[in-house]
Amino acid sequence: MSPASNLVRRAVLAAGFVFLYAPIVILAVMSFNASRLVSVWGGFSTKWYAALLENELLIQSARISFAAAALSASIATLLGLLAAVSLSRFGSFRSRLLFFGAVHAPLVLPEVVLGLALLSCFVALGVGRGFTTLVIGHVTLTMCFTTVALLAALRGCDPTLEEAAMDLGATPARAFALVALPQIMPALASAFLLAFTISLDDFVIASFATGPGATTLPMRIYSQVRLGVSPQINAISTLLLGLVAIALGLSALAMRRAKR
């Protein structure tokens, strides 16, 4: 490869990174802006982070988002584990293809379609929208991701180890709990963190599934941005970006440990 073509490839790569991450960097930098005008730099200050502690609406929405993300991620990880076990351990049962398609459908469905389907279901059943319906919607969205991650981990386990445990007197459930489950524990942690991140960041499904008393943080940010970008929005967005980055980093470390 010639030096000119190598230089072009690096320039294109650099332009791509700038296009993707420059807005995020600008957002983080402007969150430390002392000026109330987000387009004018008025010096370095952390006062907008301190002002977040007095914003009850943002704090309440953050609590709802974190609670919904933790609960939905836990349920989605459990259901994803059960689905992965069914697909990897039970062979070719009669409705396997239908079950496989139903589990993986949210991966290819647009979120608007999935959110509208959930809303229609809640209305038809007469269920009032709130925190419970929000958790149900996020479980529906994230279960497919946890299933994919755990199914790949289970397929990488050596089945002869579980067979050896059963030969020594363990039941199939006990053999799975004592042999297979410790092997996929990093994948379980990764699946939970992935589901937690998706739930915390979701806006579309929450718009359809939640009610007035359970406004999530992304919805609150969007409603306030429509009236003008506040420096506090930059601050809370930067904190949210940092939390998502930490969760994704932990998930990547867990997956690397699982591969080892």
Between CA 159 and CA 5 the distance in angstroms is 49
Largest CA distance in the chain: 72
Three-class HEC string of 98-148: HHHHHHHHHHHCCHHHHHHHHHHHHHHHCCCCCHHHHHHHHHHHHHHHHHH
Residue type, 104: H
Between CA 150 and CA 14 the distance in angstroms is 35
Whether 88 maps to a domain, the answer reads yes
Whether 8 maps to a domain, the answer reads no
Work out the burial of residue 141: count CB atoms within 10 Å of its CB; fewer than 13 is exposed, 13-18 middle, 19 or more buried. buried
Q: Look at the chain and count its residues.
A: 260
Count up the domains in the chain and report the number.
1
CATH number at residue 79: 1.10.3720.10
Whether 125 maps to a domain, the answer reads yes
- The residue segments making up the domain with residue 189 are 55-259
Whether 1 maps to a domain, the answer reads no
Degrees, nearest 5: CA angle 255-180-107:
50
The Cβ of residue 237 has, within 10 Å, a number of other Cβ atoms equal to 20
- pLDDT tens-place string over residues 64-77: 999 999 999 999 99
pLDDT in tens, the chain (260 residues): 567 777 888 888 888 888 888 888 887 888 888 777 767 777 788 888 887 878 888 888 888 999 999 999 999 999 999 998 888 877 777 787 888 888 888 888 888 999 999 999 998 988 888 899 999 999 999 999 999 989 888 887 777 777 787 877 777 778 878 888 888 888 888 889 889 989 988 889 998 988 877 888 888 888 877 776 677 788 888 888 887 788 777 777 766 766 66
Whether 116 maps to a domain, the answer reads yes
Between CA 23 and CA 182 the distance in angstroms is 41
The dihedral region occupied by 20, where left means phi > 0, alpha psi between -120 and 50, and beta the remainder, is alpha
Whether 49 maps to a domain, the answer reads no
Whether 74 maps to a domain, the answer reads yes
Are the CB atoms for 154 and 184 separated by under 8 Å? yes
Whether 31 maps to a domain, the answer reads no
